[in-house]
C-alpha cells in the first residue's frame, strides 16, 4: 500500500472532491498505462494542480484520478530501453495529472518517452521546486532569446511575478543580466521580488483593466502568465520589434487586443506550451536551468509541504495566496 491523493466526481451532482487515501500496485496497474514504474520522491503544486483538485476548471479528463502534473523520483521497474532501475528521472506534463494518474502518490506508472533525466545539479526536491512552473519560465526565456531580446535591448516585464512561473522567470532573467520589471498585485511581495533580482515593481492594476490598442513603448520583451486584458496591455506597451512569451491564463483565456502592436511595431507573440513540448526541447530547457538558475534564489522562493497538505495548498494557489514554489515531499 502507498499514500496518494485521489480526485473523484459524483455521478449524481457532478461535484469534484479530493481525499488522501491509500492505493496498491494493482490499483496502479488497473488505472494506468506505461512501461516504467517510478518511486516518487517529490512533486509540486502548480496552478493547474489547484484547478484539478478544486474542480474550478475542467482540467481533469477522467475520474477517479491521482493528480499532480510533475514528479521526480527513481525508476523501480522498466521495460523501456532508455531507463533502468535506479535511474533518477523527472516528468513534466504529457497530460499526467489530467488524463493519466500523476505525481501525488508514492508510485507512478508512466510511459518512458515522457521522462527526462534528473540533472546532476539538482536533487529531486530542487527539481520540483522548479517543476513545470520553472521549466515553463525557462521556455519563455529561450523564446525571448530566440527572437533577439538580449539584455542590451531594454527592460523585460514579468507579469504574475510572485507566482511560480513568474518567480523563476524573474530569477532567471536577472541572473542572465536583464533589467526586470516585476508586475504583481501583492505590494507585500516587493522585497521578495527584489531579492529575486527585480529592478523595479509595478502594480498589476496598471495592466489588468481594458486598455488602448497601442500604448507607450516601455519594455523590449515580456513573460506573461496572466492572459486577457493584461496580455493585451503587455503587447500594447512592447517596444518596436520586441517579443512577448505568453504561457498563462490567470486572468482569463480571452485576448481583447488588436493587430496594432503586430503590424505597426512588428512585435512577436510567442505561445509557450510546456505540456507536449518535444524531448529535445525539454532536455535543453533542463540543461539551461541547471546552468542558469541560482539555487540560492530557488531556495528563497520555495516552501516544503507534505502530501496531506496538498488539498489545502490547491485551494490557496487558485485563490492567489501562494508565493513562489511549493515542493511536496512524498518520500518523507
Nearest partner of 272 among 125, 121, 169, judged by Cα? 169
Residues 208 and 174 both lie in one domain: yes
Residues 97 and 155 both lie in one domain: no
Contact 169, 248 (CB under 8 A): no
Q: Is 77 exposed, middle or buried (0-12, 13-18, 19+ CB in 10 A)?
A: middle
Nearest partner of 332 among 308, 316, 303, judged by Cα? 308
124 lies in some domain: no
85 lies in some domain: yes
Number of domains the chain contains: 2
Residues 242 and 148 both lie in one domain: yes
Confidence of residue 250 (pLDDT cuts 50, 70, 90): confident
DSSP codes joined into one string, 63-120 = SSB---SEEEEEEEEE-STT--TT-EEEEE-TTBTTTB--SSBSEEEE-GGGEEEPPT
290 lies in some domain: no
pLDDT at 186: 84
Residues 263 and 138 both lie in one domain: yes
Residues 247 and 155 both lie in one domain: yes
Q: Is the pLDDT of residue 269 over 80?
A: yes
284 lies in some domain: no
Residues 113 and 158 both lie in one domain: no
Q: Is the pLDDT of residue 161 over 90?
A: yes
Query: What single-letter DSSP state applies at residue 252?
Result: B
Structural domain that includes position 110: 2-118+301-329
294 lies in some domain: no
289 lies in some domain: no
User: pLDDT tens across 72-89, in order?
Assistant: 999 999 999 999 999 999
Residues 258 and 139 both lie in one domain: yes
pLDDT at 323: 86
Is pTM beyond 0.85 here?
yes
Residues 58 and 174 both lie in one domain: no
79 lies in some domain: yes
287 lies in some domain: no
Residues 157 and 70 both lie in one domain: no
Residues 154 and 242 both lie in one domain: yes
Pick left, alpha or beta for residue 287 (phi over 0 → left; psi -120 to 50 → alpha; otherwise beta).
Answer: alpha
Q: Is the pLDDT of residue 94 over 90?
A: yes
Contact 174, 308 (CB under 8 A): no
Q: Is the pLDDT of residue 219 over 80?
A: yes
d(CA 45, CA 49): 6
Grid coordinates belonging to 81: 530501453
Please report, in angstroms and rounded to a whole number, the separation of the first and last CA atoms in the chain.
Answer: 15
d(CA 94, CA 113): 10
Confidence of residue 165 (pLDDT cuts 50, 70, 90): very high
pLDDT at 330: 94
Pick left, alpha or beta for residue 195 (phi over 0 → left; psi -120 to 50 → alpha; otherwise beta).
Answer: alpha
pLDDT at 58: 86
Residues 243 and 166 both lie in one domain: yes
Residues 243 and 314 both lie in one domain: no
Q: Is the pLDDT of residue 142 over 90?
A: yes
Long-range contacts of residues 148-151, Cβ cutoff 8 Å, at least 24 apart: 148/241, 148/243, 149/220, 149/221, 149/242, 149/243, 151/176, 151/177, 151/178, 151/179
The CA-atom distances, in angstroms, between 258 and each of 38, 77, 241 are 47, 52, 16
User: CATH no. for residue 305?
Assistant: 3.90.180.10
User: CATH no. for residue 171?
Assistant: 3.40.50.720
Amino acid at each position: 500500500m502507498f499514500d496518494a491523493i485521489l480526485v473523484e466526481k459524483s455521478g449524481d451532482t457532478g461535484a469534484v472532491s479530493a481525499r488522501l487515501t491509500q492505493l496498491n500496485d494493482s490499483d496502479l496497474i488497473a488505472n494506468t498505462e506505461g512501461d516504467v514504474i517510478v518511486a516518487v520522491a517529490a512533486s509540486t503544486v502548480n496552478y493547474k494542480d489547484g484547478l484539478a483538485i478544486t474542480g474550478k476548471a475542467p482540467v481533469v479528463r477522467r475520474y477517479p484520478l491521482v493528480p499532480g502534473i510533475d514528479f521526480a523520483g527513481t525508476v523501480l521497474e522498466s521495460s523501456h530501453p532508455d531507463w533502468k532501475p535506479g535511474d533518477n528521472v523527472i516528468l513534466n506534463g504529457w497530460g499526467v495529472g489530467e488524463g493519466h494518474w500523476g505525481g501525488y502518490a508514492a508510485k507512478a506508472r508512466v510511459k518512458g518517452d515522457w521522462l527526462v533525466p534528473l540533472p546532476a545539479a539538482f536533487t529531486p526536491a530542487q527539481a520540483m521546486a522548479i517543476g513545470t512552473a520553472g521549466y515553463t519560465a525557462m521556455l519563455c526565456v529561450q523564446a525571448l532569446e530566440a527572437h533577439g531580446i538580449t539584455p542590451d535591448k531594454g527592460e523585460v516585464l514579468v507579469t504574475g511575478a510572485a507566482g511560480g512561473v513568474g518567480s523563476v522567470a524573474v530569477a532567471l532573467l536577472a541572473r542572465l543580466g536583464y533589467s526586470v520589471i516585476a508586475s504583481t498585485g501583492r505590494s507585500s511581495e516587493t522585497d521578495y521580488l527584489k531579492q529575486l533580482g527585480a529592478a523595479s515593481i509595478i502594480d498589476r492594476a496598471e495592466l489588468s483593466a481594458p486598455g488602448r490598442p497601442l500604448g507607450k513603448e516601455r519594455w523590449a520583451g515580456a513573460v506573461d502568465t496572466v492572459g486577457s486584458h493584461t496580455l493585451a496591455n503587455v503587447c500594447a506597451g512592447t517596444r518596436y520589434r520586441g517579443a512577448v512569451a505568453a504561457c498563462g491564463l490567470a486572468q482569463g483565456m480571452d485576448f481583447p487586443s488588436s493587430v496594432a502592436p503586430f503590424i505597426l511595431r512588428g512585435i512577436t507573440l510567442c505561445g509557450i506550451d510546456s505540456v507536449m513540448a518535444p524531448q529535445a526541447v525539454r532536455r535543453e530547457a533542463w540543461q539551461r536551468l541547471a546552468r542558469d538558475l541560482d539555487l540560492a534564489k530557488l531556495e528563497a522562493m520555495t516552501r516544503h509541504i507534505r502530501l496531506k497538505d496538498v488539498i489545502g495548498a490547491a485551494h490557496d494557489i487558485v485563490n492567489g495566496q501562494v508565493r513562489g514554489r511549493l515542493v511536496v515531499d512524498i518520500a518523507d
